[in-house]
Amino acid sequence: MNFTEIAQQRQSCRSYDPTRTVEEEKLSAILAAARLAPSACNGQPYHITVCKGEAAKRAARATQGMGMNTFATDAPVLLVISERSYVATAALGAKVKGNDYRSIDIGILSAYITAEATAQGISSCILGWLDDKKLRELCHLDAPVRLVITLGYAKEDDPLRTKKRKELSDLVSVIDN
């Protein structure tokens, strides 16, 4: 599968098959791709905590406040993405330029994770609605949790949805001189 095919196939899954687990070799491939994600000054200012089994169910519950993300309980794997410190050069750049490179880096990391998951035939969903305090406690973290990514196999009756996106002309401007 080339990248465009991955981009066309990838969608946020909200209907996981709770009877199917993610094979270790596929999870390893997803994590290996995550390791290759670019980041400011190659600092990788994040940590991935893999939650499986009962830990996944507890992590899912920490994303379900106010009735949100109820589907997450059926995902067999949840990746809890927490923030880490900058390397010195990225910290300096962030301060001088007033830019939060960690958030950018975590976004890129998430794109790599979800793209490789799709290439492996695994569905995913990026969750930003979460209880930071509960997830920190569950995962023994001392840094903010920024995202949770659910991984698993979609139910067979979960069709590929039509992509609703802006027109390219609404997203891109070209300056030629």
The 10 Å Cβ neighbour count of residue 98 is 7
Count Cα neighbours of 26 within 13 Å in the Cβ-side half-sphere.
Answer: 19
Q: In what order do the strands lie in the sheet with 77-83?
A: 46-52, 77-83, 145-152, 123-127
CA distance 31 to 113: 7
Greatest Cα pair distance in the chain:
58
pLDDT tens track for 22-35: 999 999 999 999 99
pLDDT tens track for 69-123: 999 999 999 999 999 999 999 999 999 999 999 999 999 999 999 999 999 999 9
Q: Which helix (H) or strand (E) holds 78?
A: strand 77-83
Measured in residues, the chain has a length of: 177
Residue 125 is which amino acid? C
Instruction: State both tokens at 161.
Output: 């949805």
Q: What is the pTM of this model?
A: 0.96
